[in-house]
Copies of this chain bind each other. A is one copy, B any other.
Amino acid sequence: MKLAAKTEGPLAGLVVIDLTRVLAGPYCTMMLADLGARVIKVEMPGTGDDARHSGPFINHKDASSTSGYFFSINRNKESIALNLKQEADCELFDRLLASADILVENFTPGTMGKLGYDWDTLQGRYPSLILASISGFGQTGPYRELPAYDMVVQAMGGVLSLTGEEGGPPTRVGVSIGDIGAGMFGAIGIQAAVIERMRTGLGKHVDISMLDSQVAMLENALVRYQVDGVVPGPIGSRHPSITPFGVFKAKDAYLAVAAGNDRMFPRLCDAIGMAEAKADPRFATNPLRCEHHGALKILMEQALAARTAAEWLRHLKELGIPSGPVNDVAGVMRDPQINARGMLIELPLPDGETLITAGCPVQFAGEKRQEHSPAPALDQHREALLRELGI
């Protein structure tokens, strides 16, 4: 007997077997699960996904604990514990693969081969199966077998060299964009392979490199370097070619203002009472403002010091000048727009408490949101899966 797919959501009909651990892979498969695929995590007996052992931990009354980290990136998935180095477990794994459309893994390249599940073997046995491999450096090239973590690929991919204060040390992006970016490109590659398979009937091997993913997110830095001949470095919170476009300090706190174009800038000057700056030839065009960004920032912060960030934001919003608060995480959780969009999903923990996780940003107008299930306990779905397979 085969596993049934789910029936709700755009990816209904697809079954994903998920060998991934920690972040890039689980983030990728959570997106697929959010969109309606049935995702079955296959985890090492006893220990499970490494992320189960990463903090922050929620300590329950019964002295057990749950990793909040694991909980936040594994909703809507099922779990079965299998040791792929043991024959009986491999037989069960093969039964799962026979029901599957997609297999996702994020081991170091070569590991799947050692387990007997290299791409050639998989393709021979399951011609319609899509294999997605997410790794630090990809399945090819001189670094393919090197270990990598988010920090390493953020550093090697250039984004670190562009982030931070002007003249200061390179600064890590405060979220694991090395993993998350690769997980997102993984979901794009998997869906592309599903679309191709609908024409050809055949699976393919999606090969995502975390380092490649960083390079693809460099935006205009590569071109700026080639055109200007200057290696771009960190420039704090301003934009290299739009001014004013950054965070500015008001009486009590920072706020973000993006009023770089030549129509918007005079309106900003009127709004915050900068008559002199409005008439100043140094600030007449965007290229001139970029050249004199330091002088303009001083004038803007002098003007903004008159009121609180909240007062200015009300005023700028009324005038249609692009601006917003610098939300910390508490501010994000209070934000009316983020709440109205259903981007904060509250899920039950094992002892009945709840934890809020970030929702799926892929939304479809006019459709109601799916029901979500919390991240599974290790091996939680073994019996139900065996029953479904008729074992």
Contacts and interface: CB of A to CB of B under 8 A. Distances in A.
B219 A338 contact: no
A143 B337 contact: yes
Contacts of A150: 239, 258
A146 interface: yes
B212 A343 contact: yes
A29 to B, nearest CB: 13
A144 B256 CA distance: 18
Interface in A35-60: 35, 54-58
Contact of A165 (B171, B257, B335): B171
Contacts of A181: 184
Interface stretch (A76-84, A241-249, A274-282, A379-387): A241-249
Interface residues of A, number: 154
B338 A212 contact: yes
A57 B287 CA distance: 12
A294 interface: no
Contact of A196 (B10, B182, B192, B238): B10
A279 to B, nearest CB: 24
A235 B317 CA distance: 31
Contacts of A228: 56
Interface in A118-155: 119, 133, 137-144, 146-155
Given A335-B156, A343-B215, A364 B193 contact: yes
Contact of A358 (B12, B216, B336): B216
B364 A204 contact: yes
B172 A159 contact: no
Contacts of A321: 147
A138 B317 CA distance: 17
A141 B192 contact: no
Interface SS majority for chain A: mixed
Contacts of A156: 256, 324-327, 332, 335, 337
A337 to B, nearest CB: 4
A272 interface: no
A226 B54 contact: no
Given A222-B332, A238-B172, A192 B362 contact: yes
A242 B179 CA distance: 15
A148 B320 CA distance: 10
Interface in A195-243: 195-196, 198-199, 204-209, 211-213, 215-228, 231-239, 241-242
A143 B215 CA distance: 32
A185 B359 CA distance: 13
A171 B236 CA distance: 6
B213 A361 contact: yes
Contacts of A271: none
A341 B209 contact: yes
Nearest to A68: B223
B172 A236 contact: yes
Given A173-B177, A184-B185, A337 B142 contact: yes
28 contacts: A10-B196, A11-B196, A35-B188, A57-B227, A58-B227, A68-B220, A68-B223, A68-B227, A138-B337, A140-B341, A142-B340, A148-B324, A149-B258, A152-B256, A156-B326, A156-B337, A160-B237, A160-B247, A162-B174, A169-B236, A172-B247, A182-B361, A205-B366, A208-B363, A211-B338, A222-B333, A222-B358, A226-B356
